[in-house]
Structure 1
Amino acid sequence: MVETESAFKFTPHDHVFLGKDHDKAERRTWAVIALCTVMMIAEIVGGALFGSLALIADGLHMSTHAGALLLAALAYTYARKYADDRSFTFGTGKFGDLAGYSSAIVLAMIALLIGYEAVSRLLNPVAISFNEAIPIAVLGLAVNVVSAWLLSGGHHHGHSHGHGHDHGEEPRRIAFGSRLLEIEVFEENVPPRFRLRAESGLLPDASDVNIETIRPDGSRQLFSFDLWGHYLESRDEIPEPHAFTAMVRLTQAGQQQERELEFEEHDHGDAQGDGHGSHHRDNNMRAAVIHVVADAAVSVLVIAGLLLARTFGWLWMDPLAGLIGALVIANWSVGLLRDTGGILLDRTADPRMAERVRAVIESDGDRVTDLHLWRLGPGHLGAIVSVATTQAREAAHYRQRLAKFGDLSHVTVEVQHALQLS
């Protein structure tokens, strides 16, 4: 006999696997498109009025920039519009990854075009109108800096206590029955502490919540909470490093429930995309940011090349700067292609999570005969687990054990009993 049972973590029959900040990201992307469109029109009209071919050329370049961002914005809009469409078996959370993959291809093509033009100019130098080219490059840099600022939400997520690395943890959503809680390590201009919010707005009593951290060396620390307006905050600071397992405990109706979350230090420059926690990354926004950052990087290199060329007469500096920019863009596009391609092909999103799922199931002597773990959308993982057991256990038993993993948004369990295996 084989018994199969499915469950959706947050709301029964819910296939909405969009990122937590999906709506905000969508609005920010459209805002940047509006900015690029205004600049594009201004440059083309200004170039036509003042007879500047360079200004018209930069305006046309800005149109390709806006077109690439339009791909990201449409992916956000389409994913949101059809999020409840049941014809998408596992929701629309991967539209952002599909758009990111497409953007990576566009970036690779741009890198090839810039590289080709740079090599051509190295072999056959052309005259440069420095008085027009430099101000336009500076204007392009300014637009890209503003665009990057808008896409990031007008702030950064870096450490504010003197460390030279980014934390990278977004608020984590976990379910205790019908109650949804959000937990984050908050450290913006303050020492790091746990903050807990209720998605429904109804917070539990501070005395009913605690978090115990378990670090790789086995050390443990228990955090109690106090109420601060619309959120709960831990009384004690979280010591560095922020790499630990967090056991989140909530008492409801006299019964204590427990969920498990993983926290690790992240490097946003990791292009591999296979480190723990990468399944929280919004690759659609990442692609949009790479577009503007790549353009800004090229603008900086071009400005430097133009200044050196004008000062010392080194005309080869301009195409050399373009060639370096092409290599940088190509490197970023390869990383984005690798990460988004793996998601679209349902590559295991988090090998460490897969091992933890296996360990939880097998801790009581059962055996995992098949395990599939893939990304459904930013911060959402799907899992299919086949378990062989000699005990009288049903699928609900294993679903309950896996409930401690807050990132598992869709779980299917298949149970194979010993009588049917012999």
Structure 2
Amino acid sequence: MHAEHLHLWQHNHAFGQERRRPGEQRTLIVIAITLVMMLIEISTGILFGSMALLADGLHMASHAAALGIAAFAYVYARQHARDAEFSFGTGKINALAGFTGAILLALFALIMAWESLARMLQPVTIAFDQAIAVAIIGLIVNGASVLILDAGHDHHHDQDATSHSHHHDHNLRSAYLHVLADALTSLLAIFALLTGKYFGWVLLDPIIGVLGALLVARWSWGLMKTTSAVLVDRQGPESIRSKIRASIEQDTQDRVTDLHLWSIGPNLYAAAISIISHKPRQPAEIKRMLPTDTGLAHVTIEVNPCCTQGTGT
């Protein structure tokens, strides 16, 4: 075969990752908002002597770092989408960033729990009026950030336990959970400050802090499960595998003997399929039979005659 004809059988592995994803711009906007609010809460916390505000500001700093990781992942994946060193493109950088964000969420939950337990043992004096005012501003800002990221957040969940992650931009989901955790922290802080001011229930603040930490830990665990499944190439959804088998075996004597399906990016899958057949067909013909609504971006097909030496059939 002439070298000039090789390009007809070659293709890149960008799979659309070179395009700017909707979550990238939203993440950058939220980073700017978070940094401004972080500076306000830290400065007012120091000025008014409010440990609650200072702690919330430091929490926002940790989330700003997590959002920064998300933004970096978007840019890096886009700029290296056509880099041949990435066997199946840069789609998994999305899951890697999401997994990193999940770990940071878990650390955030531990810090929340630690600070709450410390306040149970050593209560601090709080300037309630100033702290409540700034906490309300924080809630408004965090709520706006949640809405910005939620605009691109896919809420569909597949019932297949191995697959519900494939509907998500894991990087965006990580950013979304971080700002949602911030909003939850602000809401709980307001409730605790109000009860402390009007009812003297100072101990309620650390108790609510522990409950909030448990909720954030649960979000973290869920995100870890979905992103780690992508990173370790766990088998893709059974619903898609069933469609692939049905498209190949229906009305034929062909049988799928081995099928590997794994995620290579948001809504993108690669598949390696082994088929045994009485009348072997060309792989190109079989590829045309595969379902087009499953996100299959890279497919390798091996066709074997069923009556081969040593098979016993």
Match for 1:325 among 190, 197, 212? 212
More strand by share: 1
Partner in structure 2 of residue 65 of structure 1: 63
Would you say the 8 A contact 1:97–1:340 is kept in 2?
A: yes
Secondary structure at 1:314 match in 2: coil
Instruction: Tell me how far 1:103 sits from its aligned partner.
Output: 0.6
Counting only pairs closer than 5 Å after superposition, residues 342-353 of structure 1 correspond to structure 2 as 342-353=229-240
Partner in structure 2 of residue 365 of structure 1: 253
Instruction: Tell me how far 1:152 sits from its aligned partner.
Output: 2.9
Give the Cα–Cα distance (whole angstroms) in 1 for the partners of residues 211 and 183 of structure 2: 13
Instruction: Tell me how far 1:358 sits from its aligned partner.
Output: 1.6
Would you say the 8 A contact 1:274–1:350 is kept in 2?
A: yes
Q: Deviations over 1:102-135 (max 9, x none)?
A: 1101111111111122123224433333123212
Give the Cα–Cα distance (whole angstroms) in 2 for the partners of residues 318 and 53 of structure 1: 13
Q: Deviations over 1:217-239 (max 9, x none)?
A: xxxxxxxxxxxxxxxxxxxxxxx
Partner in structure 1 of residue 171 of structure 2: 284
Would you say the 8 A contact 1:100–1:287 is kept in 2?
A: yes
* Identical positions, percent: 43
Q: Deviations over 1:325-354 (max 9, x none)?
A: 001100000000000001101112211111
Counting only pairs closer than 5 Å after superposition, residues 85-234 of structure 1 correspond to structure 2 as 85-153=83-151, 168=155
Larger RCO, structure (CA 8 Å, separation 6 or more): 1
Instruction: Tell me how far 1:390 sits from its aligned partner.
Output: 1.1
Secondary structure at 2:37 match in 1: helix
Would you say the 8 A contact 2:275–2:302 is kept in 1?
A: yes
Instruction: Tell me how far 1:359 sits from its aligned partner.
Output: 2.2
Partner in structure 2 of residue 338 of structure 1: 225
Would you say the 8 A contact 2:268–2:296 is kept in 1?
A: yes
Partner in structure 1 of residue 5 of structure 2: none
Partner in structure 2 of residue 414 of structure 1: 302
Give the Cα–Cα distance (whole angstroms) in 1 for the partners of residues 142 and 207 of structure 2: 21
Question: TM-score normalised to the size of structure 2?
Answer: 0.87
Q: Deviations over 1:40-69 (max 9, x none)?
A: 334455667x56565555443332221110
Q: 1:350 to 1:267 in 2, by over 3 A?
A: closer
Instruction: Tell me how far 1:73 sits from its aligned partner.
Output: 0.4
Question: TM-score normalised to the size of structure 1?
Answer: 0.65
Q: Deviations over 1:128-181 (max 9, x none)?
A: 33123212221221121121122234x888xxxxxxxxxx4xxxxxxxxxxxxx
The amino acid across from 1:296 in the alignment is A
Would you say the 8 A contact 1:18–1:92 is kept in 2?
A: no
Secondary structure at 1:294 match in 2: helix
Would you say the 8 A contact 2:49–2:126 is kept in 1?
A: no
Would you say the 8 A contact 2:95–2:231 is kept in 1?
A: yes
The amino acid across from 1:99 in the alignment is A
Give the Cα–Cα distance (whole angstroms) in 2 for the partners of residues 405 and 68 of structure 1: 33
Give the Cα–Cα distance (whole angstroms) in 1 for the partners of residues 45 and 202 of structure 2: 25
Give the Cα–Cα distance (whole angstroms) in 1 for the partners of residues 308 and 55 of structure 2: 71
Q: Deviations over 1:210-255 (max 9, x none)?
A: xxxxxxxxxxxxxxxxxxxxxxxxxxxxxxxxxxxxxxxxxxxxxx
How many residues of Structure 1 are paired with residues of Structure 2 in the alignment? Answer: 301
Q: Deviations over 1:352-372 (max 9, x none)?
A: 111221222222121211110
Match for 2:284 among 379, 384, 396? 396
Partner in structure 2 of residue 240 of structure 1: none
Gaps of 5+ in 2: 1-7
Gaps of 5+ in 1: 1-7, 158-167, 169-265
Would you say the 8 A contact 2:157–2:167 is kept in 1?
A: no
Counting only pairs closer than 5 Å after superposition, residues 200-279 of structure 1 correspond to structure 2 as 266-267=156-157, 274-275=162-163, 278-279=165-166
Would you say the 8 A contact 1:305–1:320 is kept in 2?
A: no
